[in-house]
Amino acid sequence: MALWGGRFTQEADARFKSFNDSLVFDYRMAKEDIEGSIGWAKAIASVNIISAEELEKLLKALNELLAEVEKDPHSIAHAGYEDIHSYVEARLIEKVGDLGKKLHTGRSRNDQVATDLKLWCRAQVAILLKSITGLEKTLVDFADINFDTVIPGYTHLQRAQPVTFGHWAMAYVEMFDRDYRRLSNCLELLNTCPLGSAALAGTAYPIDREALAKDLGFSRATRNSLDSVSDRDHVLELLSCSSISMVHLARMAEDIIFYNSGESGFIELSDRVTSGSSLMPQKKNPDACELIRGKSGRVIGSLMGMLTTLKGLPLAYNKDMQEDKEGLFDALDTWHDCLDMACLVFEDIKVNKERTLAAAKGGYSNATELADYLVSKGIPFREAHHIVGEAVVYAIKQGKPLEDLTVEEFRQFNDRISDDVYPILTIESILKKRCAKGGVSLEQIRSAVDFMKNELSAR
Ligand code: ARG
């Protein structure tokens, strides 16, 4: 039974009904729809639309229903109602008869769905904040163990200067930490209550909307009824937060895939997060990471979809807005799964320290040091850069790293080079020199790890 039969003489076409119905996906807001209804029941009792006794009956029935839907939320999906609001109202009427029909007084599905979705978002944000924290902790632990494991750092995917695995992991901690704060900001902004805005012009009953907002755990009531029922900024913001974070996850996954490749051999992913090939028996594919990288596409797609859906909509509510849920649900689920999977990937990663060190030493990644050395001998940097370029070409021809050239060989390029060049070409010296805040010196990495450990323990 639909909520709106009176004006209609013909039945809805079955094909239209299934096209129009949203219960198959909005059943996920069952709990929130009931919570919102509990708040509304109290609000209409406060202006004497229902009596204290009726309120008590409604609350009892709604709480019963809450316990029922929590047992098996999925079973609601195919109960055949138009949407979750119709479902909850129908079930309430089953329980309390005609009294159930009073609950929708002064309320519209427009402010109802806006409220439900915000409540749902709030609950999801709490879960996601925990997941992000979990991944940050995992990465900080990895950084702690590998704070001095030397790996090559890249620009243009060319070996550039040595860094450490700890420094690499802490770079991602910074990204996920911004994701955490971005999501917290989102929560703060969305936490206003649209209920009492009715269809578009505001409820016709003198309800204390601020009290209602507080009762539902919002920070305040929304200020404009037209905006309240048509605002989906929070959907866009959450999709945007999840897209940005998925980009971080995808980049991290890509680094891991590369480090795990036969070409690098820096790490070995565990059998628990890799899979084999049906044809090539030797293969062990980094599927978990590839899927994390790949799933960024659908999350970003949901953001683009929702921006496009909303862009031309006139005020206030339009049915187009029903399209907000599937993309959002899918994006947040995907984000959550990927955060979780990323933690699992780190659980038993094996790091091959010999390979990472050898790679960091190769590729002439100490060439900048030689240039700086020449600068210390009074040669202008631009000139030093050129001299070192020539020395590198020579060393490549000899098949040697810079530190294996003799002083005589070095002197072909500049006569100010002497024995004291060798210590500055070592990895230890390269790392040590980068001791300004945020640099790769071991003290800096240690303090970054300690700082984040402290931050995370306070959450
Ligand atoms: N299922 C609808 C949605 O998700 C609920 C609101 C329906 N409102 C209406 N006036 N038809 O947006």
Q: Which residue's CA lies nearest to atom 11 of ligand 1?
A: 319
> What tokens appear for 282 in the block?
């030797």
Pick the atom of ligand 1 nearest to 199's CA.
10
Residue pLDDT, tens place only, 355-375: 999 999 999 999 999 999 999
pLDDT at 75: 93
Q: Considering the chain, tell me which residue range(s) the CATH 1.10.40.30 domain(s) occupy.
A: 363-458
State how far the alpha carbon of 350 is from the alpha carbons of 26, 259, 271, 291, in Å.
Answer: 43, 11, 11, 20
User: 136 vs 69, 333, 440, CA distance in Å?
Assistant: 34, 19, 19
> With a 6 A CB cut-off, is 322 part of the ligand 1 pocket?
yes
pLDDT at 5: 79
Residue with tokens 């990323």: 342
Crossing angle of helices 233-260/109-145, nearest 10°? Answer: 30
CATH code linked to domain 14-105: 1.10.275.10
Cβ of 260 below 6 Å from ligand 1 = no
pLDDT at residue 274 in the model: 92
Q: Please compute the mean of the pLDDT values over residues 340-350 and round it to a whole number.
A: 96
For residue 352, give both structure tokens: 């091959």
Ligand 1 midpoint to CA 4 (Å): 12
User: For residue 321, which atom of ligand 1 is closest to its CA?
Assistant: 12
C-alpha separations of 127 from 169, 178, 340 in Å: 23, 17, 11
Ligand 1 geometric centre to CA of 307 (Å): 19
Q: Is 80 left (phi over 0), alpha (psi -120 to 50) or beta?
A: left
**22 CB less than 6 Å from ligand 1?**
yes
Contact 230 CB / ligand 1 (< 6 Å) = no
Indicate whether 277 pLDDT > 90. no
Question: Is residue 408 scored above 90 in pLDDT?
Answer: yes
User: Which residue lies with its CA nearest to atom 2 of ligand 1?
Assistant: 322
Per the rule left: phi > 0, alpha: psi between -120 and 50, beta: everything else, 190 is alpha
Confidence of residue 173 (pLDDT cuts 50, 70, 90): very high
Residue ranges, CATH 1.20.200.10, the chain: 110-354
pLDDT at 201: 98
Q: What's the pLDDT tens digit per position in 140-156?
A: 999 999 999 999 999 99
Residues of the chain with CATH 1.10.275.10: 14-105
> Which CATH number is associated with domain 110-354?
1.20.200.10
Q: Which of 109, 115, 309 to mutate to test the pocket of ligand 1 (most atoms within 8 A of CB)?
A: 109
What pLDDT is stored for residue 404 in this prediction? 96
Compute, in angstroms, the gap from residue 321 CA to the centroid of ligand 1. Answer: 8
Taking the centre of ligand 1 as the mean of its atom positions, its distance from the CA of residue 127, in whole angstroms, is: 26
Mutate to test the pocket of ligand 1, among 18, 110, 197 (most ligand atoms within 8 A of CB): 110
1 band by pLDDT with thresholds 50, 70 and 90: low
Using the predicted structure, report yes or no on whether residue 2 has a pLDDT greater than 80: no
**CA-CA distance, 459 to 449, in Å (whole number)?**
16
Class of domain 363-458: mainly alpha
Q: Give CA separation, 346 vs 31, 372, 412, in Å.
A: 35, 37, 48
Nearest CA to ligand 1 atom 3: 322
Compute the mean pLDDT over every residue in the chain, rounded to the nearest whole number.
97
- Indicate which residues carry an active-site annotation: 156, 277
Q: Does a cis peptide bond (omega within 30 degrees of 0) precede residue 331? A: no
Ligand 1 midpoint to CA 320 (Å): 9
Residue 309 Cβ inside 6 Å of ligand 1? The answer reads no
Q: Is 413 helix (H, G, I), strand (E, B) or coil?
A: coil
pTM, to two decimals? 0.95
Assess whether the C-beta atom of 149 lies below 6 angstroms from ligand 1. no
